Structure 1
Amino acid sequence: MAIMSLVLAGGAVTGLGAAMLRPDGAAPAAPAASAPTLPPGDPSNTTRLVHHERITGDISPKSVVASPSGTVIANNMMYNHTSTLYDASSLELTATVADTVDLAEFGHPERAGETTGAPVEAVFSPDGKHAYVSQYSLKGPGAGETATDDCAAGDAIGNSAVYRLDLTTNEWDQVIEVGRVPKFISLSPDGTVALVSNWCDSSVSVVDLAEGEELRQIPVDSAPRGSVVLPDNRTAYVAAMYADELYRVDLVNGQSELVLETGRKPRHLVLSPDASRMYLTESGADRLLELDTATGEVLREVETGREPRSMAISPDGLALYVVNYYANTVTKFDTETFEAIQTVEVGQNPIGITYEPTERRVWVANYAGSIDVFDDTAARDGTMEP
């Protein structure tokens, strides 16, 4: 099957491997947005989670992600084929966006007709005006064989894409081709580059967001998932989940280096606010690691609940929130002591989590069909902040 090429309508059409390094070896600069202004409150390792509300409806959220400006997106994969948007203050559903596109409108006329995606993960642009959403697979005219986590169809699986959502119109306005079965997506701090984990290609795609095109694919190892990009906008870390490995990746020269053999199934990475530390969940080992971002060295480790998957960090960097998929719980860790300070029950199969900064709330995506929202402003003695 011919490799497809997808870009913003009206832009040049390019195929995989066609994009080369920029003459200066870097993506064009873009202004970074300022950090969100947090409501006043105590340090996050001195507060406790209090359940606020459970959101239900026609959802099966694989992930939930908060913008810096009061919007939350949940991605409902192939079971509902939607991304749902919520107002962070009222918790009201503001939009349901289907994953259906016509690729002819995005630079691929031979694939005219209805194509459906399967939203997995999302990341917001620094200004909060767009959300980039990875699509597990594309199904429609010219698509390849059915994508599965075991990648059984091999090279016959078609390449997929990242969709860009305009938060003003709540419509997809860009489709960017990446590899096969893309899952996690992270952004460089300056907002110019996205890093996309291609599960069935054992690679990551480096995407130039200004041009809306893939620059290159960088090989890592089996089942890449979580990633972070450091403040130099060039160095990234990627967890290869089925290889039990952690890689350091250079986004400009395309090189990757094995830096750590991990416990079973390393899944998700987050950075501390100052980027001096990163945290890694080992979902098959029920363990949370703290690592030095300069060296990749493990500094501390602690046990979690059963099968930790995604996690979030508070803006002050003092609390980590980890979902325990098979325990149906979320555990809050103090990053100063690296000890668990609270565990709360949530819905069935919690899989995604985000810290919503404008309201100081933690949102938890439960794969079985709900989202739990917690306030994180109560004092540890049980009193509420005024």
Structure 2
Amino acid sequence: MAAAAAALLCLTLCAAAIGGWRALRPGHTAALPAGQQSTTSAKKASPTSGSPTSRSEHPAPRQDGPSSGTRLRLIDRFTGGITPKSVDASGHGLVLANNMIYSHSITVYNSWTHKLVKRLPDTIDLAKFGFPDHPGISQGGPVEAAWTKDAKYAYVSNYVMSGPGFKGSAQDECSPTSGYDRSFVYRFNATTMAWDQAIEVGVVPKFVAITPDQKQVVISNWCDFTISIIDRATATQVKVIRLAAQPRGIVIMPDNRTAYVAAMYGNKVFRVDLRTGEHHVILAVSRPRHLVLSPDSKTLYLAASGTNTVYKISTRTDKVVAQVISGREPRSMTISQDGTALYVVNYFGNTASKITTSDMKVVQQVPTDPTPIGITYDDATHQVWVACYGGSMLIFDDTSRGGATSSPPATATE
């Protein structure tokens, strides 16, 4: 009997020790408040459990009325060798994160389970895609992405290329005379989980937008002050339009011809005719960065980092009709499926703000991990993903009228 008791005690102590090791091992997710579940990107899902499934298998959760009345609630946080700069939901079961350019990778997640589906390096053999001047393996530096409507593909911009035939360097303080190489946009195939196209664009491409008719991709080229227009059918750049210093955010109107572009260090927002190249300034403001269009296209929203402000602009008059202070250094922004709420990450404030679009009021501000820089709203789940540059991803539910929950500090590990 004594021997059995001793054995039982040994098993209990061993289990406790193993549990403690699991809690401390690299890549383990920090504890969340009671009742909330957590996953970690370090634990890769099997192809079956991690791959996206149809909406019929995962119907969208019930939402307590319009998004303007619900409140963000933290439900997940993970680390695990990630440095996410941007994050984009397909709306059909996948979420793609571009890791900081020197991490040279993207990570793709199942939006329902939050499990890692694929970690894809940015290495590519450009010669195999029709660029013989760059034989062998080259590396990119993922920045931003845009999904096609059918979620079969995502176009990913690469800050600068390195490898055969490239100088391999660039920086944000630049101009068309800096002498940097042109870079590439890759196409990610969601079926094969691989790159299946490479398209040469301008110098230091950043934001990516796709026309509503899905025929063209528009890229903002940071260092040569241009936007590139890509024909999807031929996977080639077909037009370049010169604007002003460091263009970034882009939205495209339903006519597939009119675009709005934020030139961040030109301190201007442009209305651009993509067919003729004609453009004019609709707003002069300090460091305009990100643009979002309302679902009905009647309203343009602008996050201006230089004024800590989100602006509401009528696309009929191109005039500001309302504005609100979001927080310190608003960077990226997204909008709810019903168009009643904006979500903005405040980079130096370490917060995310929720703004009701009808009255432009900040109705909620939740703490995040340090340096939140990317944000996306997933239509399939009514969840908001926040990418924190320091090495973590936060996921908030936005289906109920409950309150907010704070997040623990980031501890990025492999």
Q: TM-score, normalised by structure 2?
A: 0.81
Distance across 2 between alignment mates of 1:347 and 1:141: 38
Which residue number corresponds to residue 208 of structure 2?
185
Amino acid in the other structure paired with 1:124:
W
Task: Note the C-alpha offset of 1:39.
Answer: 3.9
Task: Note the C-alpha offset of 1:360.
Answer: 0.8
Distance across 1 between alignment mates of 2:253 and 2:175: 34
2:275 is paired with a residue of what secondary structure?
A: coil
2:197 is paired with a residue of what secondary structure?
A: strand
Which residue number corresponds to residue 103 of structure 1?
126
Distance across 1 between alignment mates of 2:330 and 2:155: 24
Amino acid in the other structure paired with 2:344:
V
Which residue number corresponds to residue 78 of structure 2?
55
Q: Which runs of 4+ in 1 moved over 3 A?
A: 36-40, 152-155
Q: How does 1:87-98 map to 2 (within 5 A)?
A: 87-98=110-121
Distance across 2 between alignment mates of 1:341 and 1:155: 44
Distance across 2 between alignment mates of 1:126 and 1:57: 30
Q: How does 1:67-216 map to 2 (within 5 A)?
A: 67-144=90-167, 146-151=169-174, 154-216=177-239
Q: Does 1:224 align with 2:247?
A: yes
Structure showing greater radius of gyration is 2
Q: Aligned pairs, how many?
A: 347
Which residue number corresponds to residue 269 of structure 1?
291
2:161/2:168 contact within 8 Å kept:
no
1:54 is paired with a residue of what secondary structure?
A: strand
Distance across 2 between alignment mates of 1:310 and 1:110: 36
The structure-2 alpha-carbon separation of the partners of 1:290 and 1:152, relative to structure 1 and needing over 3 Å to count, comes to: closer
1:121 is paired with a residue of what secondary structure?
A: strand
Q: Does 1:283 align with 2:299?
A: no
Deviations 1:273-329 (A, max 9, x none): 000001001101101100011232111011111000001100100000000000110
The structure-2 alpha-carbon separation of the partners of 1:153 and 1:140, relative to structure 1 and needing over 3 Å to count, comes to: farther
Distance across 2 between alignment mates of 1:48 and 1:363: 14
Q: What percentage of aligned pairs have identical amino acids?
A: 47
Q: Does 1:329 align with 2:329?
A: no
Amino acid in the other structure paired with 1:133:
V
Deviations 1:42-88 (A, max 9, x none): 21011100001112111111100000201000001322100100000
Between structures 1 and 2, the one with greater strand share: 1
Unmatched segments (≥5 aa) in structure 2: 1-57, 405-414
- Alignment RMSD: 1.6
The structure-2 alpha-carbon separation of the partners of 1:95 and 1:55, relative to structure 1 and needing over 3 Å to count, comes to: same
Task: Note the C-alpha offset of 1:40.
Answer: 3.2
Unmatched segments (≥5 aa) in structure 1: 1-35
Deviations 1:24-48 (A, max 9, x none): xxxxxxxxxxxx9854322101110
1:243 is paired with a residue of what secondary structure?
A: coil
Distance across 2 between alignment mates of 1:152 and 1:235: 26
1:70/1:89 contact within 8 Å kept:
yes
Task: Note the C-alpha offset of 1:209.
Answer: 1.0
Between structures 1 and 2, the one with greater helix share: 2
Task: Note the C-alpha offset of 1:144.
Answer: 2.9
1:377 is paired with a residue of what secondary structure?
A: coil
1:46/1:380 contact within 8 Å kept:
no
